[in-house]
Amino acid sequence: GTENPASEVETGQSPPEKPKLVKCRSPGKETFTCWWEPGADGGLPTNYTLTYHKEGETLIHECPDYKTGGPNSCYFSKKHTSIWKMYVITVNAINQMGISSSDPLYVDVTYIVEPEPPANLTLELKHPEDRKPYLWIKWSPPTMTDVKSGWFIIQYEIRLKPEKATDWETHFTPKQTQLKIFNLYPGQKYLVQIRCKPDHGYWSEWSPESSIQIPNDFPVKDTSMWIFVAILSAVICLIMVWAVALKGYSMVTCILPPVPGPKIKGFDVHLLEKGKSEELLRALESQDFPPTSDCEDLLMEFIEVDDCEDQQLMPRPSKEHTEQGVKPMHLDLDSDSGRGSCDSPSLLSEKCDEPQAHPSKFHTPEGPEKLENPETNLTCLQAPQSTSGEGKIPYFLANGPKSSTWPFPQPPSLYSPRYSYHNIADVCELALGMAGTTATSLDQTDQHALKASKTIETGREGKATKQRESEGCSSKPDQDTVWPRPQDKTPLISAKPLEYVEIHKVSQDGVLALFPKQNEKFGAPEASKEYSKVSRVTDSNILVLVPDPQAQNLTLLEEPAKKAPPALP
């Protein structure tokens, strides 16, 4: 506090203001320095003194050295420095008017350690042969730190950056006094700084900047590494080539399996080349129906059966009875009319006396109906009604939009769009059992299912039609056939699938054994049912068959059945 306040008023002089101890620092845990801030001097010359006493002692000492640490400082040499002891330090400002003392500062040297920055920072560019070039940074521990004996434990931090850059790249080193920097940009001038820290204490100031210029031709990478990489790649390539050569095809196949070419069972290209259409078609018979577009022209003639006198159902030797069991019809028909000829062996036939079941009628309805649902033309041809309804063999023809193709009883997958199955509900009903169609919803594919495309489309569409037919034929075959209701305006168009697409055989009694439509999944044809008579012919010229009670469960595995063409309405 101040003394003699009275004189302050008189002379404008006063005792000095209380000084303030700013900080004390020890650079090496062996000495330390304290600095203070003087207050106002009160208009008189003022002296400052620093006094202290140590923990556990009562004796008060004065600062041993006011000079070494600069103005307003007190330096404690080694002799006067004790570690792990509290110093209670006070600074006093004295002038003529009085003395002012600062607040005491409690200092333990252990906790005020702040070293000088590291010394002797040197930068050197090194470019050893066969190794990457680098910048070699070296330095020494700061002054007044005894690192060797372990009294002072130190760690360093180096930072560097290209001159123009804003961000520093920093590196820590726990003890060593050198550092190697790789990945420098050539042509740049780098600035480097370093600082250090004791194991317990404050970081030093950053050293002054050192700079170094990286020459333009400074190699960033070392070439030997790239040579190595190149050789390695070459070796790998060679190995791969060798492996491919050895394994060859199998490897390539493994990686790039060959795209299977389209195949039509039974379709022998060579036969086609030879021009033997008959053989070709024969070969095709055993395959799934419908024939390819190539055969379309050949099949065009098979639509109508005009004159059924000599029609006979000829068991077709089918080469292979595939699951579908649908065979294309024999193809020697008129090519123009699109009407099946009675010679067509695949027709169910007995003598067709009455051409009423006229192919022409059964001819694919053209015109609007066809347009509307060209695909779904199923025509049931009535067998020549030689008898009074017995032994009538329904002919089933499905007309595609072209109306020139035999509709072949096919497995769903084979029901190509070109074969449309008309609502031969009866036929369907007659058809024994479902064709086991996979029957997807026909309705949807109604439009698409039996397109008048030449290509054989399998799968869904066929299935779709199948389903329709199946649906139509789900009910027990009976007399009361329900003609398939025309879906959209065409009576001929219906969703009712034709069930029986295949004439297995015709017995002596004129019993027609029909094969249910086969699911493509089914291998051999399943038991066929026999129909011995046609119960009636509907308006749309669909034959309704009556199953033959006698021979219901014929299984025909041996003979490849002929496929009954769907009857044309």
Partner 1 sequence: MDSKGSSQKGSRLLLLLVVSNLLLCQGVVSTPVCPNGPGNCQVSLRDLFDRAVMVSHYIHDLSSEMFNEFDKRYAQGKGFITMALNSCHTSSLPTPEDKEQAQQTHHEVLMSLILGLLRSWNDPLYHLVTEVRGMKGAPDAILSRAIEIEEENKRLLEGMEMIFGQVIPGAKETEPYPVWSGLPSLQTKDEDARYSAFYNLLHCLRRDSSKIDTYLKLLNCRIIYNNNC
Q: What does the binding site for partner 1 look like in residue numbers (CB under 8 A)?
A: 29-30, 55-56, 78, 81-86, 88, 106, 108, 110-111, 146-151, 153, 175, 199-200
Tokens read off for 156? 């360093």
Alpha carbons 61 and 98: distance in angstroms, whole number: 21
Shortest Cβ 230–partner 1 spacing (Å): 38
Shortest Cβ 142–partner 1 spacing (Å): 15
Tokens read off for 34? 């304290």
Q: How far is CA 549 from CA 12, 224, 477, 552, 554, in A?
A: 144, 94, 12, 6, 11
As to burial, measured by CB atoms within 10 angstroms (0-12 exposed, 13-18 middle, 19+ buried), residue 553 is exposed
Q: How far is CA 206 from CA 142, 152, 187, 203, in A?
A: 12, 19, 25, 9
Between 25 and 363, name the residue whose CB sits nearer to partner 1. 25
Alpha carbons 292 and 263: distance in angstroms, whole number: 10
Between 150 and 367, name the residue whose CB sits nearer to partner 1. 150
Alpha carbons 480 and 84: distance in angstroms, whole number: 118
The DSSP output letter for 401 is: T
Between 72 and 82, name the residue whose CB sits nearer to partner 1. 82
Between 23 and 126, name the residue whose CB sits nearer to partner 1. 23
Between 175 and 247, name the residue whose CB sits nearer to partner 1. 175
Between 79 and 263, name the residue whose CB sits nearer to partner 1. 79
Between 153 and 264, name the residue whose CB sits nearer to partner 1. 153
To 5 degrees, how large is the angle CA 76–CA 77–CA 80? Answer: 75
To 5 degrees, how large is the angle CA 399–CA 547–CA 320? Answer: 55
Between 58 and 508, name the residue whose CB sits nearer to partner 1. 58
Shortest Cβ 60–partner 1 spacing (Å): 14
Element (H, E) at 76: strand 73-76
Shortest Cβ 155–partner 1 spacing (Å): 11
Shortest Cβ 244–partner 1 spacing (Å): 45
Shortest Cβ 179–partner 1 spacing (Å): 19
Shortest Cβ 2–partner 1 spacing (Å): 23
Q: How far is CA 79 from CA 52, 82, 174, in A?
A: 15, 8, 31
The DSSP output letter for 568 is: P
Alpha carbons 48 and 227: distance in angstroms, whole number: 73
Shortest Cβ 138–partner 1 spacing (Å): 18
- Strand-pairing partners, residue 123, are 137
